[in-house]
Structure 1
């Protein structure tokens, strides 16, 4: 073969590589072109942007008549008092599987409780509970973190003579596929959380080719007032730089905020966090609705953005209400000695009676996100 023919072959190969690279680049650009999503949401936004629900629990994971409601509310509020453990224990004695799973998840990081926690999840897995199965699978951060023989805590447990028979028995792909099959069953029964799990398991939320199908699913979930997929969509199309959220474009920002507003109109607490800013009037719908929902976000956002426009009574009474709900440090304490609070009446009992908390956490939510909401 002549030198010239070799050169032609090299050039041809390079052209093929450039062509493939160019195609891949176009695919990436298509994937991040969020503006193509906008027309897909158009009808949904127009039909729902002005609808405001009077049902405080319309988007709640569990309702007040659900046996798990009180426990989920305590966890969402970051309440780890004895009352919470008593409620969990009471539900576990009744055989409530979700309470058992939550207990196991909270105890699996303790070397003295790890064997017990794993045994609880194993028993439920054998009964076919997909949530318990998932937490023992290869996709579970809990399993990968705590059930390996390489984990330092397990080495300590072994030295203490504790049961470590769980080591290296779990965290497999086989167990994960078993969880998937369980979620398929729940999905067929209409469980939206299971359906969304399967959507992500298929990678639909990351697929360029099936982008339209994915958006239609997000809309379908939202029509049933299940807004976690919508919030995940928000996270996926934005990024944070220097503490500020960056959107793909001004047009996409307007679109996304309309979607969040629809979720907020239906009392989905996490959506409020990204709508309230320094320009939100202190008597705005968003603040008033958050307060009625008893969300800690209200007690964080209002003092942060509106401290200068709040009078002492407003700050004092909000602080009292926060303490009554969350039992945390009285963040209005800095006003003690600066103003006369002896004649300030806050009617805390009346305000507490008007609070109607929705539950935004679900059985997939990581423990460190239970009280954050996002």
Structure 2
């Protein structure tokens, strides 16, 4: 009996070791990605786009451009609401969805916001459907009967008929079907949504297929998958990004440089550091795009070497673009400004902002990049 027990223990131990070894073998190794990106990097690392909007979610001639630029800049002034209202009256569905998403966290507006999304879901809009599904943080946060705000709304006599009607897997699958139709029409964001829905980005067996898809998206100047790839193969320790290896870091920074060469603002954030020269291409490009990252990064990394008058003029430009939002440098009192001409209006006219947020971007990420 003891002998049989020992044999069983040995078998179980062997199985455990086998399973652990198998799991270890199946872990994603970013080193294996290096040769898969090599040709793409060699073909594109020295190409710099002339079109400032080449990677923009929407272009200046799109009816949603002005509104999305305001949201990206954190502008919640009356002008923004007026623009949103104007587009909604024209029947623009994306504007209606953005409005609903901004209002669903307010108990007095929640019923209206949910009704807007429901109507669009019935019309087959996959974005509206997604935000009402069980994969939406918005739905899970605000539409449950357990949510404190809904209990307060009920006590106030407000309409809470939306409770427990949504946030289901069935609604999510309906969204998936809708995105399949958009993907078939060539919508890159819908295609990427489906790629993630299949778990391709987490599969070791299909790693090569996943990398090929990321490259195809990048060739079409859609760089969000590339940024997600960066997040997936790095981690943050003590506030500092840690790469898998030095080889992997060098390659990822080349990939980010390709995205920056094509004006994708989020890529600049991971490339600029204390070693970036103050007159570097990256800073100049960021300023041309009117990105708040320029106004933060340059003084932060180069304060001691920057001309105070240049800093002051940058601060004036920042204020003209963003007002008092985020963080604006102020150099009043530090230098003699009596004869200082900053030509802010001229600089404003030369800025060509791209849009990096899209209709999947969470509200708390609209102004981050």
* TM-score, normalisation: structure 1: 0.97
Candidates 253, 257, 269, aligned match of 2:253:
257
The answer to whether 1:57 aligns with 2:43 is no
SS of equivalent residue, structure 2 residue 26: helix
Q: Deviations over 1:12-39 (max 9, x none)?
A: 23222222222222222xx1x1110000
Q: Deviations over 1:269-317 (max 9, x none)?
A: 0000011111111111000000000000000000100111111111110
Partners of 1:276 and 1:179 in 2: how far apart?
A: 38
The answer to whether 1:176 aligns with 2:162 is no
Match for residue 313 of structure 2? Answer: 317
**Structure 1 residue ranges, 4+ long, deviating more than 6 angstroms after superposition:** none
Partners of 1:69 and 1:84 in 2: how far apart?
A: 12
Partners of 1:332 and 1:263 in 2: how far apart?
A: 28
Match for residue 11 of structure 1? Answer: 10
Partners of 1:339 and 1:9 in 2: how far apart?
A: 82
Counterparts of 1:1-374 in structure 2, within 5 Å, are 2-28=1-27, 31=28, 33-328=29-324, 331-333=328-330, 335-373=331-369
Partners of 1:232 and 1:203 in 2: how far apart?
A: 13
Q: Is 2:295–2:328's contact at 8 Å kept on the other side of the alignment?
A: no
Aligned length: 368
Partners of 1:342 and 1:104 in 2: how far apart?
A: 48
Structure 1 unaligned segments of length 5 or more: list them. none
Aligned-pair CA distance for 1:64: 0.2
Q: Is 2:309–2:335's contact at 8 Å kept on the other side of the alignment?
A: no
Range with bigger deviation, 322-331 or 295-304: 322-331
Partners of 1:366 and 1:179 in 2: how far apart?
A: 17
Aligned-pair CA distance for 1:337: 2.4
Q: Deviations over 1:93-122 (max 9, x none)?
A: 000000000000000000000000000000
Aligned-pair CA distance for 1:342: 1.4
Partners of 2:12 and 2:303 in 1: how far apart?
A: 65
Structure 2 unaligned segments of length 5 or more: list them. none
Q: Deviations over 1:129-157 (max 9, x none)?
A: 00000000000000000001111100111
* RMSD across aligned positions (CA): 1.0
Partners of 2:8 and 2:267 in 1: how far apart?
A: 57
Q: Is 2:143–2:164's contact at 8 Å kept on the other side of the alignment?
A: yes
SS of equivalent residue, structure 2 residue 271: coil
Aligned-pair CA distance for 1:6: 3.1
SS of equivalent residue, structure 1 residue 239: strand
Partners of 2:83 and 2:346 in 1: how far apart?
A: 25
SS of equivalent residue, structure 1 residue 274: helix
Q: Deviations over 1:162-213 (max 9, x none)?
A: 1000000000000000000000000000000000000000000000100000
SS of equivalent residue, structure 2 residue 236: strand
Partners of 2:77 and 2:146 in 1: how far apart?
A: 33
Partners of 1:234 and 1:225 in 2: how far apart?
A: 16
* TM-score, normalisation: structure 2: 0.98
